[in-house]
Amino acid sequence: MTHHTHRTARRLLALAALFSLAACGGGTSGSNPLPSVSPPSRPPASGKLQPTNFTLIVGASATSTAKAAAVGTHAGMRPSYVPASSKSITITLKTVDGNPPPSGLTTSVTTNLTNCSPSCTVPGPSAPPGSDVFTLTVYDATGGAGNALSTASPTLAIILGQANSNTITLLGIPKSFTFGTVPSGTAGTPFGTGGVALPLTVKDADGNTITGTYDTPVTVTDSDTSSLTNASGLAVSGGSAASSVSVASEAADATLKLTYGGQAILPATLTASAAGATNATATFTPTRQPIVYAGPTNGSGNPEIDLYATSGTGSSATFTATEVGWTNAPYSQAITATEASACSSIATTAATSGSAFTTTVASSPAVGTCTLTLTDVSGGSTPAPVTLTYTSSGFGVQ
């Protein structure tokens, strides 16, 4: 026998050994036999079934690969999610060519993952040829019990009597979230182009950080919508600012950004959510700038408008109120002047622009004092409210 013939024989023996693999534990021995699958009590109409096996390869970073095989042929690999806390896997045949499986089949097989590092091969149910949909679910307890950690519902092409190669990706099931440090901000100072990274960790039911793609997309929302026109909000992968974005994988999380155009806003609540998961929240609280009053003051330098006549000099006064991140461009928002109820008999204040105001004595003024509060988005008043007074005669220079 020639050297070439010897080498070919060795390859054939090695391939035959691979095709007969039926044990967990990296595919290197048969010390952990696969659980037996009961034969169908009544064969399907075709009378023929194709055996299936699925290989899980668990990596050091809690990632793995799942692959399906029929007629002893192992498929290629694709990154999947099988964390270290996985204890069992259930594989179920759901449909055949869009219809329920023929009656009499064993459609579900559960295998404990007792020795699945770095890999193991587990059986699936024997399946009729056709376009077959399977569901694979990994659990954190034996016997297909406990919390579901990852899942997939692939459609596999099964052809009778041929090598069938099908690739599957197991997807992590989100159950909880953790926000990292939320960026700080100051009104009037926009973030740079594209925003600032908003760290988000997506976890499974055991608290493992999910790597790869999620079974259910994660939605992140921003409660602030008032400043979207000034490029505030959330963005993924360089997209436009929005009040709600969707992230489908760990890779997308890495591109999640908080954008801020610099407008003065109330604290914004950021919420991460997914179907069947517990929400997590974080707060973005940019520092607002003070409202700057420019107008009459009293002897202590506090804002005060003193009126003493019903017409002409002493019957009105003007002032401005500005705020960086609110009244200046590109925000161009208006300051709100709110008078206390006692002011109705003393004076009224009206805006002549977003930041300019005129206070005018009432038509039949009463001697007295009241206060005027200036606000931006909400609650942002001057260090001291503006005092309005009316006296029946003048008393010095304002």
Domain boundaries, the chain: 3-172, 176-284, 292-390
DSSP 194: T
Query: Could you give the CA distance from residue 57 to residue 79 in angstroms, rounded to a whole number?
Result: 9
pTM here is: 0.79
Give the pLDDT confidence score for residue 169 in this predicted structure: 85
Class of domain 176-284: mainly beta
| CA 130 to centroid of chain Cα atoms | 38
Give the pLDDT confidence score for residue 394 in this predicted structure: 54
pLDDT in tens, 179-189: 999 999 999 99
Overall average pLDDT of the 81-102 stretch: 94
- Residue 63 in this model has a pLDDT that exceeds 60: no
- Residue 67 in this model has a pLDDT that exceeds 50: no
**What CATH number belongs to 292-390?**
2.60.40
CB atoms within 10 A of CB 268: 25
* DSSP class per residue in 239-275: ---BSEEEEEEHHHHTTEEEE------PPEEEEEE-T
Domains 176-284 and 292-390 share a fold: yes
Most distant CA atoms of the chain, gap in Å: 127
Q: How many residues does the chain have?
A: 398
Q: Which helix (H) or strand (E) holds 304?
A: strand 304-307
- Residue 224 in this model has a pLDDT that exceeds 50: yes
Query: Could you give the CA distance from residue 18 to residue 73 in angstroms, rounded to a whole number?
Result: 9
Give the pLDDT confidence score for residue 79 in this predicted structure: 55
pLDDT in tens, 317-373: 999 999 999 999 999 999 999 999 999 999 999 999 999 999 999 999 999 999 999
* Mean of the per-residue pLDDT values of the chain: 83
Give the pLDDT confidence score for residue 167 in this predicted structure: 75
Give the pLDDT confidence score for residue 120 in this predicted structure: 82
